[in-house]
Amino acid sequence: PDVKDVRLVWHFLAFDKEVDSTRTDEELEALKKDVIALIEKIESDDKFAANHSLLCDWCEFKPICRQWSHLYMIKEKPENEYLGDPGVKLVNRYAELKQKQKQITLDLYAEIEKLEESLINFAEKEGVDVVFGSKNKVRIKETEQNKFPA
C-alpha cells in the first residue's frame, strides 16, 4: 500500500547491461492472477516430472528427485551392502550384457564381411552370379557407387 512505483531491474553481468521493466496497476493485477494460477496448478499436480539438465549439478533436491534419489539411497550404504542393492545389480548386469551385445555385433559384422569376401571370390572363381546353400541363396552383384561424407 505504501509503494507507489515498482521497478524491476535485470542485471546481465556477462554483457554489462541492465534492463528496466515497470508495470501498471492493471498489469500487476493480471500478473498476480497468473502467478496465483500457476502456484495452484503446481500445488495440485501429484506428479513432478523431472527435467534432467546441466543444472542438476547445482540442484539441492537431488535426494528426493526421481532422477537421482536411488544414487542417494545407495551412497549411504557400505560397499558390501551397496553391491547387493537390487538396482545396482540390475544396472551392472544390464551394462555387462550391453557390452557383450556390442562385442558380439562387432564379431558378427567382421565374420559377415569375411564371408561376403569369400562369396565374391567363390562366385568369380566359379563364374556364377548366385551361390546356393541348402535352404538359401546369395546373389552376387557388382555395382559402382559414389559415397560422400555426410
Q: Give the start-to-end residue ranges of the domains of the chain.
A: 1-46
What mean pLDDT value characterizes the chain?
Answer: 91
Check if the beta carbon of residue 132 is closer than 8 Å to that of residue 126.
Answer: no
pLDDT tens digits, residue range 107-150?
999 999 999 999 999 999 999 999 999 999 999 998 999 999 98
Asked whether the beta carbons of 131 and 119 are under 8 A apart, the reply is: yes
Name residues of the chain where pLDDT drops below 70.
1
The Cα 103–Cα 40 span in angstroms is: 52
Q: Most distant CA pair in the chain: distance in Å?
A: 100
Q: Whole-angstrom Cα distance, residue 49 to residue 31?
A: 25
Answering whether pTM is above 0.75, one says: no
